[in-house]
Structure 1
Amino acid sequence: MKTLVFNPFSGAAGDMILACALDIGADKQAVKELVEASAPVSMDIREVVKEGIKALDVRIKVPENEHVRTYPEIVDLVKAAKLPPQLEASTLSIFLKMAEAEAAVHGQPDLEMLHFHEVGQSDALADVIGSSAALHSLNCDSVYCTPINVGSGTIECAHGTLPVPAPATLEILRKGKLYFRGGSVNKELLTPTGAAILSHFAKPVEAFPQGKAIAIGYGAGDADLPGPNVLQGVLLEPDSHLISDIIEVLETNADDVSGEVLGNLFEELLSMGARDVAIMPVTMKKGRPAHIIKVIAKPEDSAKLSRKIIVETGSLGVRVMPARHRLMAARNIERIKIELEGREFEIAVKVARDSEGVLLNISAEFEDCKRVARTTGLPVKEVMRRAEEVAWKLFS
């Protein structure tokens, strides 16, 4: 099992991602031949040193005086390249992300009429195809990306002077839910192509997952910056076969809220997408009885859940713990049939496996078991035991 983590402390561009993947171990010659056969470019790969860090530098040479391509022209070029199915799908998906971002920014709902400017040239085509080919060849089980340094200031482009990150880049970051931060360097460090590639392949993380590093790569950027202008990639062997998940923990104290209100809040938060809710009695200063409300949530749900807590309890604020890793089993709901007291019943069971498919646990759904217990007169715990026994035989 392998995990790839991108650490864009100096931003990311398409050529940096490609170079980083090659430096980690993707086949340089195979990727070069594929890129040159798929786009009207030539590709040069060399080693450079960026402020003391040895990195791989990829230069894409393109024909002079290229015209601005439309999105449909890009799609036609990709399909004409006859790429392997998985590679073609990734390439088309990445360009679709860029097209949708451009369309959203410019208010152009018809993608057929959309003109690409900076991302419509042959070098962008080569970067996307090459990066996708290199990343697929690494055969990683998962890919993550730490917060991206997007730079600061403004840039000059076909649409005039724009802020950093550029509007299309920002839209890609929003839809991809990638974490990012501004930097002290007055320059664009994250390009739309880089953002789209990372958005397609990587999940956001605040910090490196636990594991043992088995390979490290650096992809060089073009500009000379005060620090090393490189994209770092680390290939890890995770410590376990559990699945990494990203959560935030919301927490507040409520010292003047009735049990009925708390019970309703519990149900409301779960219906709004909370992963779990816990309400614990505590004693606050001056001996006042109160409750701590603790909610596990996906980062994108934290704001609406926090607002709900404040509205329902009168709390003046909700503490949001920093995003963290949660290691968990993959869970599926299966339905089984069991015979009890001469009758057949259907019960849902939760089946938990690790990332390699090894069965870890089975638990019967309580509400189904309670319904069957009322019908048969058997204790709920006996119904649960028998359902889980049948399920272990079926799914082991």
Structure 2
Amino acid sequence: MKKTMVFDCRVSGVSGDMLVSALVDAGADERAVAEEISRACMALPWCSEASVEFPVVERKGISARMMKLKLVEKPMEIEAKRFLEELEKALEQAELSEKARKLVRRTAGLLVDAEVEVHGGEAKLHELGSADTVADLVGFAKALEELDFLEAESYVTSVLVGGGVVQTGHGEVPVPAPATLEILRRTKIPFIIREGLGELATPTGVALLAGVEAKGCSMATVLKVASVGYGAGRKELEDRANVLRVMLGEPQGLVEELVVLRTNVDDVTGEVLGYALERLMEEGAEDAFIASVLGKKGRPAYLVEVTCQPSKAEKLLKLLVKELGTLGVRVCRCERFRVPRSVEEHVVRLEGEEYPVRVKRGELDGEVVRVKLEFDDVKRAAKAAGKSARVFLEHASYFIRQQQRRREDEQG
């Protein structure tokens, strides 16, 4: 079963240090994370000292870890390009896996792209150019590596970003800060603005969520929780516990937020509809179908419906308009209960030959509720074996069932 992590940012938003602290509280090796952060910061030419601790603190009765970072660095503005170059040099000295390094690069790229988009040209980084940002990026990646959650499925609740204004190196700006809003816009991470709370979501925090491709989810989440971690923010808030919560475990079923796109067309050929369906799936739709309906004035028409992740909605909406020529698309947000599934690799033997076939298994409450062979593999194998897809599917299903029974007998 694929590992899953859920970031709960509904109460006090998200920041890079809160995410790192929550993962340490959830079980990541504190010393390993601290050493990696210090090593990365010290590799920066403008940072001469760096140390970090994760003391236990209390926020409105909740025990949490807080990242306490001590830096001695020369205050400076740094161009985005140079920041990425120095970060790459720091990564060369890091004791990180390549997967962890890729996460750091991906997140840094999101931050820099957002700054360039907002400020234009050769953007100069103020707060984001600090060693503090590098500490968050590297600490987050190292913590996930220590937990063995770098390849986990990631989900996030709606992020409370706060509201009002905040003072930055660019002067006073509205909340969410421009770079934060740009990352949220690009990644479609769901968020909530609430006036009077100040800044509760930082660019680094939302970039880290985007870096692990966290999908929006409801808290109606059925998760077999292995560990829970709380990461504290630096400020005490009057009306709420300034903590972020992360839950690590395996999915028992998940209610995730999706977008449904619908449009009716009555002047498009079957060939164009079929091609549009192919393109929608190629571009990342979760599902798409076409149904015959009776339209206005008794005209025969087609209903085209697409289900997708929020981050894909804008691109797929435009594809619908371009491919079908429709002048209107209905957009609805919905929730989908997703049964946990895993994919297994099997080798099917037929007439002395072996054919690789993937098998999808759906499980709920520890019980297998569905087993299905990947039909693309069935088609490929059937063609290679000189059999019809129907015949190969029947043989492969029987062969895999027999294998499973033999394994159960050996274990029993």
TM-score interval for Structure 1 and Structure 2 normalised by the shorter chain: 0.7 to 0.9
Q: Which structure: larger Rg?
A: 1
Q: Which residue of structure 1 lines up, in the alignment, with residue 140 of structure 2?
A: 131
* 1:102 matched to 2:115: yes
Q: How far is 1:118 from its partner?
A: 0.5
Indicate the RMSD between aligned Cα atoms, in angstroms.
4.4
Task: State the one-letter code of the partner of 2:32.
Answer: A
2:87 to 74, 82, 90: 74
2:5 equivalent in structure 1:
4
Q: Using the alignment, how far apart are the partners of 1:20 and 1:30 within structure 2?
A: 15
Partner residue, 2:39: 37
Q: SS of the residue aligned with 1:228?
A: coil
Corresponding residue to 1:211 among 206, 219, 223: 223
- CA contact under 8 A between 1:246 and 1:326: conserved in structure 2? no
The letter of the residue matching 2:194 is G
Report if the CA contact (8 A) 1:19-1:220 is conserved: yes
Structure 1 pair 317–31 and aligned structure 2 pair: CA distance change class (3 A):
closer
Retained in 2: the 8 A contact 1:329–1:352?
Answer: no
* Residue 353 in structure 1 maps to residue 360 in structure 2: yes
| One-letter identity of the residue aligned with 1:104 | E
How far apart are the structure 2 equivalents of 1:35 and 1:288? 65
Q: Distance in 2 between matches of 1:367 and 1:37?
A: 50
The Cα shift of 1:326 comes to: 3.5
Q: Describe the shift of the 1:292–1:102 C-alpha distance in structure 2 as closer, same or farther (beyond 3 A).
A: closer
User: Partners of 2:30 and 2:312 in 1: how far apart?
Assistant: 41
Contact 1:151 1:188 in 2 (8 A): yes
Determine the structure 2 residue equivalent to 1:27: 29
Work out which of the residue numbers 178, 199, 203 in structure 2 matches 1:192. 203
After superposition, the C-alpha distances for 1:59-91 in whole angstroms (9 at most, x for unaligned) are 111115443444122332332345444433333
Match of 2:390 in 1: 385
Tell me, in whole angstroms, the C-alpha distance in 2 between the residues paired with 1:99 and 1:245: 29
Counterpart position of 2:57: 48
Shift of 1:46: 1.7
**Residue from 272, 280, 284 that aligns with 1:272:** 280
SS at match of 2:217: coil
Deviation at 1:200, TM superposition (A): 1.2
Q: Secondary structure at the match of 2:53?
A: strand
Alpha carbons of structure 1 residues 302 and 91: separation in structure 2 relative to 1, 3 Å: closer
1:41 and 1:123 in contact (8 A); partners too: no
Cα contact 2:362–2:371 (8 A) shared by 1:
no
1:199-248: CA deviations, max 9, x gaps? 112421221432222322211112222211111111233226xx998643
Runs (5+) with no aligned partner, structure 2: 42-48, 404-412
C-alpha separation in 2, matches of 1:304 and 1:201: 20
Partners of 1:314 and 1:387 in 2: how far apart? 41
Residue pair 2:280, 2:319 contacting (<8 A) in 1 also: no
Contact 2:228 2:245 survives alignment (8 Å)? yes
Query: Aligned pair in 2 of structure 1 residues 310, 333: CA closer, same or farther (>3 Å)?
Result: farther
Q: Are the equivalent residues in 2 in contact too, given 1:250–1:296 (CA < 8 A)?
A: yes
Partner of residue 324, structure 1: 336
- Identical amino acids, percent of aligned pairs: 30
CA distance in 1, matches of 2:113, 2:321: 35
Structure 1 residue 175 corresponds to structure 2 residue 186: yes
User: Is structure 2 residue 243 aligned with structure 1 residue 230?
Assistant: yes
Partner Cα separation in structure 2 for residue 313 and residue 97 of structure 1: 33
Corresponding position of 1:122: 131
Matched residue, 2:407 = none
Q: Quick one: distance in 1 between partners of 2:288 and 2:114?
A: 36
Alignment CA distance shift 1:329-1:3 (3 Å)? closer
Aligned residues: 370
Distance 2:139 2:377 in 1: 50
SS for the counterpart of 1:34 is: helix
Q: CA deviation at 1:29?
A: 2.6
1:137-188 alpha-carbon deviations (Å, 9 max, x no partner): 1123322222211111222211222222222222322333322221234411
Which amino acid in structure 1 is aligned with residue 392 of structure 2? A
Contact kept in structure 2, 1:245 and 1:328, CA below 8 Å? no
Give the SS at the match of 1:41.
Answer: strand
CA 1:367–1:328 in structure 2 vs 1: closer, same or farther (change >3 Å)?
Answer: same
* Equivalence for 1:342: none
Give the conservation status (yes or no) of the 8 Å contact 1:266–1:277: no
Equivalent in the alignment of 1:18: 20
Tell me the distance in 2 between the aligned counterparts of 1:89 and 1:328.
27
Asked if the contact 1:178/1:204 (under 8 Å) is kept, the reply is yes
TM-score, structure 1 as length reference:
0.74
Structure 1 residues 366 and 30, CA, compared in 2 at 3 Å: closer, same or farther? closer
State the match for 2:409 in structure 1: none
Q: What are the within-5 Å matches in structure 2 for residues 144-163 of structure 1? A: 144-163=155-174
Asked if the contact 2:38–2:51 (Cα under 8 Å) also holds between the matched residues in 1, the reply is yes
| Paired residues for 1:272-351 under 5 Å | 272-273=280-281, 274-280=285-291, 294-303=305-314, 318=330, 320-327=332-339, 351=358
